[in-house]
Amino acid sequence: MPIFKYAVKFVLQQVKDKKKPTPLRCFVRYNNTRCVFKSGVVIEPQYWLVEPQKPRQVSAIDYKSIDSGLESVKNCVKTAFDYLSDKNKEYPDPDKLKDLVSLIMKNNGDNPYIEKPAKNYTLFEFIEKLIRDTKEGKRVLGSGNRYSPGTIKAYGSAFGVLKGYHDYKVSKITRGKAIEPIRFEDIDLNFYEDFKDWCYLYRSETLSDNYFGTVIKFIKTVMSESLEQGLHANTKYKSKNFVKVKTEVDNIFLNKDQLEKFAAHDFSKNKKLERVRDLFLVGCWTGLRFSDFTNISPKDIADGFFEIKTQKTKTDVVIPIFPVVLDIMTRYQGITPNSLPPTLSNVKLNEYIKEAAKEAGFTEIVTLEKSMAGRKVKITEPLYKLITTHSARRSFASNMYHIGMSTNVIMAVTGHKSQTAFNTYVKVKPKEKGEMMKKEWDRLNMKVVNE
C-alpha cells in the first residue's frame, strides 16, 4: 500500500508590524502541491519562532494555549489527510482537504464522516452494527467497493452460529437461567476450544471443518475491527492456535461428456426443467458465479463474448460464448432481453437442478470424502443428488484445465487470486495428470518434427 506523506508549516500573514496580533496561516505541502487555510491562531510576530514553529515561552502571552491550538490544527490536518488518502488511495485534492479540515475543526477534532463508536457496545451489538454498516455501504473494502451480498449473507450466517452457541450455554449449562452475553474479553483459546466442541459435537447440525473455519474467520474479523476502534484490548484471538480450519473439499463436477449428455437430453415435456438445465449449462460454460451468470445483461454481450464486471470481486472478465451457450441463446432469442434462460433464485435452482439431472440419467453412485468434526467421512449418494449451482463453476474450471487451458487464463475468469485456491476447484487424478503431461509432450515433439 502506498505511503502518502505531507508537511505542515505555519506562516504569519504579515511580519512588518512586530507588535500587531497577526493570524497564522497553515500550509500543507505534498506531492508538489499545497493546501492553505486559516489556522484560527493569532500571535504577535515578535513572539513567533519560525523554527521550530513555536511561540516564545514568555509571560507576555499565553504560549501554552497557542501551542495547544497549533497542535490541534495539525491533528485535524492528519485526520483529514489520512481519511482522504486512505479512502481514495491517492493524494487528496487540495480543496477537498481544506474543506474537510474546516469541518473537523468545527467538529472538535472529529471526522464527521466517521461514526464514533459507543464505548459501551457489547460484542453482539458490535456485530449487529458491523453487519448493518456492511449492508448500507458504510463499511467497504480497501478498494472502496462495497461487500458482495454473498459476504453479507455469510456474516449473518456466522453470527447465527455464534448466537446458537450462546443459546446452548443458556439452555444446557445454566438450565435456562439468563447469563451474560459473550464479551470481547471472552474470546480466547478456552472459548475457541469450547466453541469448537459445540460446533462439532453438540450442535444439532454438525459444521464441516471449512464452515467452522469460515465462522472463526468472521470472529477474528469482528475482534480485529473492534480492537481498532478501541472497544477492547483483547489480542488472544491472534494466537496461532486460534486457527481458521481449512481442508480440501472433495466436490463433484461434470466432465465434458456428461455436459454434452445433459445438453442433448430432451426436456420438451418439462419446460421448467429445460430452463433449469439451460441456466445451469450457462454456468458450466462461463465459469461465473451464480450471482454473475444469472445477471448477464444485453450490454454485456458483444462480438461473441460476454464482457462483465463480477459482483464479488468487481473484476472485468471477458469470456467467449462457447457453442453450447450459443445454441441456448438461439433458442431463447426474442424470449428474454439477453437471449439467455430466465433466472430464478439460487435456492430454487439448487432444488430443481437435481430433478433435471435425475431425469437426464445421472443416477450413478458417487462416493465423496468430506472432513467433519476433524474426521474424514465418506458420503455415498447418486450423482444427481450432489449437483449444485456451484458444480457449474467447478465443472468449467476442471474441464478447461483438462483440455490444457493455461491456469492463468482460467483463473482470470474464475477470479481465483492464488494457485492454491484454484487447485481446490480443479479435480485431476494422478493418472490424468500423467496423461496430460504425455499429451503435451507429444504435441511439442510433433511441433518440432513439423518445423
Tens of pLDDT along 402-416?
Answer: 887 888 888 877 777
- Same domain membership, residue 227 and residue 288: no
State how far the Cα of 56 lies from the Cα of 437, in Å rounded to an integer: 79
Q: Are residues 404 and 292 in the same domain?
A: yes
Q: What is the pLDDT of residue 237?
A: 92
Q: Which residue has the higher pLDDT, 277 or 145?
A: 277
Question: Domain with 416 in it: what CATH number?
Answer: 1.10.443.10
Whether 445 shows a pLDDT value over 80: the answer reads: no
Distance CA 51, CA 446 (A): 77
Confidence of residue 435 (pLDDT cuts 50, 70, 90): low
Residue 331 has pLDDT above 90, yes or no: yes
Tens digits of per-residue pLDDT, 123-161? 999 999 999 999 988 888 877 778 888 889 999 999 999
What average pLDDT score do residues 89-108 get?
Answer: 90
* Average per-residue pLDDT for the chain: 85
Is 245 part of a structural domain of the chain?
no
Residue 217 and residue 350 in one domain? no
374 and 435 fall within a common domain? yes
Contact criterion met (CB below 8 Å) for 69 and 42? no
Q: Are residues 89 and 187 in the same domain?
A: no
pLDDT-wise least confident of 90-99, 194-203, 410-419: 410-419
Residue 322 lies in a domain: yes
Is 135 found in the same domain as 178? yes
Task: Write out pLDDT tens, residues 338-367.
Answer: 999 999 988 899 999 999 999 999 999 987
Asked whether residue 387 is assigned to any structural domain, the reply reads yes
Of the three residues 207, 238, 269, the one that is the final residue of a domain is 238
pLDDT of residue 211: 84
376 shares a domain with 261: yes
Residue 212 belongs to a domain: yes
pLDDT at 416: 72
Q: Based on the fold, state whether residues 160 and 217 are members of the same structural domain.
A: yes
In-domain check, residue 247: no
Q: pLDDT higher for 223 or 411?
A: 223
Q: Are residues 220 and 318 in the same domain?
A: no
Q: How many domains does the chain have?
A: 3
pLDDT of residue 379: 74
Provide CB contacts within 8 A for 275, sequence distance 6+: 341, 342, 344
- CA dist 263 and 249 (Å) reads 27
Report the distance separating Cα 352 and Cα 389, nearest Å.
Answer: 10
- Which of 9-13, 206-210, 231-235 bottoms out in mean pLDDT, i.e. has the lowest? 206-210
Q: Tell me the mean pLDDT in the region 245-249.
A: 58
In this predicted structure, the answer to whether residue 68 has a pLDDT above a threshold of 70 is: yes
Buried b (16+ CB within 10 A) or exposed e, 131-150: beebeeeeeeeeeeebbbee
Q: Which of the listed residues 238, 269, 291 is the one where a domain comes to its end?
A: 238
pTM: 0.54
Look up the domain containing 223 and give its range. Answer: 123-238
Q: Is residue 246 part of a domain?
A: no
Residue 113 covered by a domain: no
Question: Is the residue at 233 inside a domain?
Answer: yes
Which domain-ending residue is among 185, 211, 238?
238
Residues 270 and 378 in one domain: yes
Question: Strands 305-309, 316-320: parallel, antiparallel or unpaired by DSSP?
Answer: antiparallel
Residues 308 and 164 in one domain: no
> Does one domain contain both 54 and 199?
no
Closest C-alpha among 390, 413, 403, 385 to residue 249: 390
| Residues linked to residue 379 through DSSP beta bridges, in sequence order | 368
- What are the pLDDT digits (tens) for 377-399? 677 889 999 898 989 988 998 88
